Amino acid sequence: MFKIALESYKGVLAALQNNSPVISSKIPLNNGTSLPIVGFGTYLIEEHKIHTVLDAALKYGYRNIDTAAMYENEKAIGIALRDLLPKYSLSRKDVFITTKLRAEDETTSGVKNTKLRIDSWKELIRLNDNGRGVLRAIGVSNFLAKHLTHIISKTGVPPVVNQVEFHPYYNHPDELYELCCKYNIILQAYASLGGSDNPVLIRHSVVKEVATKHQVSPAQVLLKWGLQEGFGKLKFLNS
């Protein structure tokens, strides 16, 4: 499985071979744009903390900010960036912002879910307009191979990214890697420390042993592991 991942996502690996810091490295997407390999996740960061946290993130080089409607902090992120970008001599185009639409109601029937997924994807395609629209790039999250196959077969447009949970405790079927390889879809990992709410892997004895050996933190070991598997990363901080 991991051989497939490595062969499929050579863009990540190539970007890491230019000896530049990982945090400033970018990976080309299948629509001609590029995405910073390491992203700053804002899950569980409350609105009143956003300004302080993003200030630190920009200071240390993060240029990929991840949020979602369900995080309920999108507005605060926009306000904070408007204030902070000039501080670091940055413009809006220097920062890649990823957000995610709120999932449909869980009571919706399977048939309606499928139609809604296609309709939503068609609208995103319209808003992207081959990179000329209001959206720089369009992607999906938590899609299985069957979901990707369905939207591509109905629209002819593959997503640039599929954001999925990925760490040593959570892998995916080969068919997902193979499909993403076929359409040059980047798999971006979230919950890289072993879970969004309870990052159990940073306390694992093997991870701690490797961290001690290389004089780095357990979190750095896990992020490096994912990058070596060819995945883009989101680092979630709640402080």
Q: Which are the catalytic amino acids? A: 71
Strand partners, 174: none
Q: Are 96 and 64 within 8 A, CB to CB?
A: yes
Residue 23 is encoded by which pair of tokens? 């945090």
Q: What are phi and psi of 76, to 5 degrees?
A: -65, -35
Strand partners, 125: none
- Residue 32's CB is within 10 A of a number of other CB atoms, namely 10
Distances (CA, A) of 120 to 26, 124, 127, 139, 222: 28, 6, 11, 11, 34
